[in-house]
């Protein structure tokens, strides 16, 4: 892999190949391949069939001699098939259309016989490409290992967008080869981040003596195999190797990229020791909590009263004690006296909590309560109530229900940390996530929210707030059900796009100006306790350029569970997802 490796980066974007423009008949293919590999290129994009071939009854494909020209490993590892450019599946001429369909199927069959990993399809010849979509979808149904890579101009005409999106049908057997003459806007380019882009083709560039690529006005075709192309490879490798190493947090999260996980249900289930340990390593989160607690202690007790006043602080959901430690460190930092109640329902975590208190000598400062906060009867009222019940969407781990239940033992003028939290969503293109969910072949997985480290996605519009909860709750007996309708405007320069679902985030105000969150615009740096949440759509929504997206979100509450429902109503309606919590819920 000549582009080199960055520390900890396991991404796939390291290969550089050469496109062969002319049909390499006979023994030419081994020579061309050998020349390219010896020049440090990784593969050839080569025609498999003579471009002059047209199907006739009984004809044999004039391929490059035979499959014996190269060994099986060479075919599968170093050759990507290039389907003939003359093929026009939507031609008005019926004979050309039929010949195109026959030839395409023959070439794909030959590529499968050779065990190629992929073939590159020519782009549709016109904006109306329904037959192109039909034929490609038909071929895809018969493929197992061979992928089809579809050449698509980076800037397409608007009428072609919808037909193209139907052609790919979101199959994980389809990739894209992008071709360009001029670089489009960043928004237009960005929409491809969520698609399975395999190759980015080049315009004809020159490499200056200073190592800078410069573009000519027109493409030329006579340099495709002569390794005057080596300077391109050298320069790409130079850029790649100059990239900064991935930070430690990114290296830690690589294996979680675009990996769908079910959100935790800490109220219904007891967390395991490994989960606690992972969260406890997030020092940034607990530093923010310590800052918030310190500010609250100073506001609660004046400097004149520090020697005579003891603040009662309750940690509800104490786990193995990180918030207890943060609270006592804040008290030491501010010189305030503190009495701590550590309330935890998980009996296994309570064992570790007892060990921590004994080890640190905090027996006179901390009282451990092994109980569900909703059932415990506090012996006294708290000045400060501290919790870390937030989920990726803020309220999705039932922080509102838990804190409403615990609010009864907070003094009327008491402080809750956090004091509020707001959820946010944004529409995204996420082809990989969609295909991973689609592989389950049921509706339930499309009606489930997932925690995921988003990577191969395109963010299509700025985030908007969804639900906000305040603590102490000014109306503790009010319902925590919520409903909102949001309208997202896609930037005009983005063009048309596909929406596969909505990414969700939260931002929490711990106390006054101390906040914590993962909303992209205000995210707390270097914090890894939460990945975003993803609300998928059963069928991706095609959004034409300049067309807004209208989405509805509900937070629903029952006697034993809380769940979300969501639906798109514009530009085209979707079903209401997760009706009555039939597929996904959080247990009370």
Residue numbers belonging to the annotated binding site: 276, 285-286, 344, 372-373
Helix (H/G/I), strand (E/B), else coil: 522: coil
With DSSP H G I counted as helix, E B as strand and the rest as coil, what are the percentages for the chain, rounded to 5?
30, 25, 45
Nearest-angstrom CA–CA distance, 304 and 144: 76
For β-strands 561-570 and 549-557, DSSP reports them as antiparallel
Q: Which residues are annotated as a binding site for S-adenosyl-L-methionine?
A: 276, 285-286, 344, 372-373
Q: What is the separation of C-alpha 208 from the centre of its chain, rounded to a whole number of angstroms?
A: 38
DSSP annotation string for 82-135: E--TT--TT-SSHHHHHHHHHHHHHHHHHHHHTT-SEEEEPPPSSS--HHHHHH
Residue 211's Cβ-side half-sphere holds a number of Cα atoms within 13 Å equal to 6
- List the structure tokens of 16: 């550089």
Helix (H/G/I), strand (E/B), else coil: 171: coil
Contact yes or no for 218/204 (Cβ under 8 A)? yes
DSSP annotation string for 431-497: HHHHHHHHTT-SSGGGGS-EE-B--S-EE-S--EEEEEEESS-SSTTS---EEEEEEEPPPGGG-SE
Surface-to-core class of residue 531, CB atoms within 10 Å of its CB (0-12 exposed, 13-18 middle, 19+ buried): buried
Residue with tokens 């004046």: 302
Q: Which of 19, 101, 107, 388 is catalytic?
A: 388
Q: Which of 107, 397, 401, 519 is catalytic?
A: 397
CA diameter of the chain: 102
- Beta-carbon contacts of 159 under 8 Å, excluding residues fewer than 6 positions away, are 127, 128
- Beta-carbon contacts of 141 under 8 Å, excluding residues fewer than 6 positions away, are none
CA angle 523, 529, 531 (to 5 degrees): 65
- Pairs from 99-105 (Cβ < 8 Å, separation ≥ 24): 99/54, 99/55, 101/131, 101/135, 102/55, 103/49, 103/53, 103/54, 103/55, 104/135, 104/139, 105/135, 105/139
Q: Is 397 a catalytic residue?
A: yes
Could you give the residue numbers annotated as active site? 388, 397
């Amino acid at each position: 892999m000549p582009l080199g490796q960055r520390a900890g980066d396991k991404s796939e974007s390291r290969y550089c190949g050469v496109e062969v423009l002319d049909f390499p008949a006979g023994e030419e293919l081994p020579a061309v391949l050998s020349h390219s590999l010896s020049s440090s290129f990784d593969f050839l994009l080569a025609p498999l069939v003579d471009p002059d071939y047209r199907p006739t009854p009984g004809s044999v494909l004039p391929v490059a001699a035979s499959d014996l020209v190269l060994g099986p490993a060479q075919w599968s590892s170093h050759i990507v098939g290039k389907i003939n450019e003359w093929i026009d599946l939507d031609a008005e001429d019926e004979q050309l259309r039929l010949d195109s369909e026959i030839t395409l199927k023959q070439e794909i069959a030959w590529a499968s016989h050779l065990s190629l990993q992929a073939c590159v399809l020519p782009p549709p010849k016109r904006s109306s490409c329904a037959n192109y979509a039909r034929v490609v979808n038909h071929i895809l149904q018969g493929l197992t290992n061979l992928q089809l890579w579809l050449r698509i101009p980076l800037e397409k005409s608007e009428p072609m967008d919808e037909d193209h999106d139907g052609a790919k049908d979101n199959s994980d057997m389809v990739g894209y080869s992008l071709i360009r003459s001029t670089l489009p806007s960043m928004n237009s380019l960005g929409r491809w981040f969520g698609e399975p882009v395999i190759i980015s083709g080049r315009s004809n560039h020159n490499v200056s003596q200073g190592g800078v690529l410069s573009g000519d006005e027109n493409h030329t075709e006579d340099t495709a195999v002569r390794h005057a192309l080596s300077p391109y490879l050298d320069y790409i490798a130079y850029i790649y190797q100059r990239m900064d190493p991935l930070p430690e947090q990114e290296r830690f999260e690589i294996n979680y990229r675009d990996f769908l996980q079910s959100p935790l249900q800490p109220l219904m289930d007891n967390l395991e020791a490994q989960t606690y340990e992972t969260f406890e390593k997030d020092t940034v989160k607990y530093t923010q909590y310590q800052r918030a607690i310190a500010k609250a202690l100073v506001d609660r007790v004046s400097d004149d009263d520090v020697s005579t006043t003891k603040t009662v602080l309750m940690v509800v959901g104490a786990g193995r004690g990180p918030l207890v430690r943060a609270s006592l460190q804040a008290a030491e930092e501010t010189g305030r006296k503190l009495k701590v109640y550590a309330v935890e329902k998980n009996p296994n975590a309570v064992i570790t909590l007892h060990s921590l208190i004994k080890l640190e000598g905090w027996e006179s400062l901390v009282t451990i309560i092994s109980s569900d906060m909703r059932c415990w009867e506090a012996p006294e009222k708290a000045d400060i109530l501290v919790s870390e019940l937030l989920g990726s969407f803020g309220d999705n781990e039932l922080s509102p229900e838990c804190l409403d239940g615990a609010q009864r033992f907070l003094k009327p003028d008491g402080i809750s940390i956090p004091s509020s939290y707001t959820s946010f969503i944004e529409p995204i293109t996420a082809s990989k996530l969609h295909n991973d969910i689609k592989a389950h072949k049921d509706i339930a997985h499309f009606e489930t929210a997932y925690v995921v480290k988003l990577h191969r996605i395109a963010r299509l519009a700025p985030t908007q707030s969804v639900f906000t909860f305040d603590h102490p709750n000014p109306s503790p007996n009010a319902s925590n059900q919520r409903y909102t309708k949001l309208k997202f405007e896609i930037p005009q320069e983005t063009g048309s796009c596909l929406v596969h679902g909505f990414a969700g985030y939260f931002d929490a105000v711990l106390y006054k100006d101390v906040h914590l969150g993962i909303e992209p615009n205000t995210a707390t740096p270097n914090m890894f306790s939460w990945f975003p949440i993803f609300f998928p759509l059963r069928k991706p929504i095609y959004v034409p350029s300049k067309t807004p997206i209208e989405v509805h979100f509900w937070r629903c509450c029952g006697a034993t569970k809380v769940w979300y429902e969501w639906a798109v109503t514009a530009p085209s309606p979707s079903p209401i997802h997760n009706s009555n919590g039939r597929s996904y819920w959080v247990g009370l």
